[in-house]
């Protein structure tokens, strides 16, 4: 039978976590800690979370899916959407921990006194 054939589109199932995503995630976590202080802080935290969710959702924030920021509060193991959000959260937390280790090592290397030059023989 003549007609068009469906060609599967090669889509990536898990979003790529970039350096900018990690920076935005760290900012969102920092703002989330301050969200209880005022309405402006709460709105700033909400906007930062929305930006991270849009990046991880391919440009769309899907409000019906579990958020990576609420994974620990609303536990639903076995739900594929919850599992996806939990895996993204684990990856982001691991990336933030690695970035902190690198920053700490850079600070230590900068603060360490230079070693004296070797004596010439």
**pLDDT (tens digit, 0 to 9) for every residue of the chain, 121 residues total?**
566 777 666 655 567 788 999 999 999 999 999 998 999 999 999 999 999 999 888 777 778 888 899 888 888 888 888 898 999 999 999 999 999 999 999 998 888 777 777 776 6
Burial, 75: exposed, middle or buried (Cβ in 10 Å; 0-12, 13-18, 19+)? Answer: exposed
Please tell me the distance from the alpha carbon of residue 57 to that of residue 45, in angstroms, as a whole number.
Answer: 18
What's the pTM?
0.74
Tell me what pLDDT residue 8 has. 65
- Please report where in the chains the tokens 């070693």 appear, as a residue: 115
> Residue 64 phi/psi, 5° resolution?
-85, -10
Helix (H) or strand (E) holding 45: helix 39-56
Tell me what pLDDT residue 121 has. 65
- Please report where in the chains the tokens 């994974």 appear, as a residue: 71
């Amino acid at each position: 039978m003549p007609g068009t054939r469906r060609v599967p589109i090669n889509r990536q199932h898990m979003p790529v976590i970039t350096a900018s995503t990690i920076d935005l995630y760290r900012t969102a976590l920092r703002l989330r800690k301050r969200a209880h202080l005022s309405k402006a802080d709460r709105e700033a935290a909400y906007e930062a979370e929305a930006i991270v969710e849009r990046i991880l959702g391919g440009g769309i924030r899907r409000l019906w899916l579990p958020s990576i920021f609420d994974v620990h509060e609303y536990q639903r193991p076995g739900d594929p959407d919850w599992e996806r959000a939990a895996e993204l959260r684990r990856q982001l937390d691991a990336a933030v921990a690695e970035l902190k280790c690198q920053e700490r090592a850079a600070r230590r290397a900068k603060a360490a006194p230079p070693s004296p030059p070797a004596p010439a023989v």
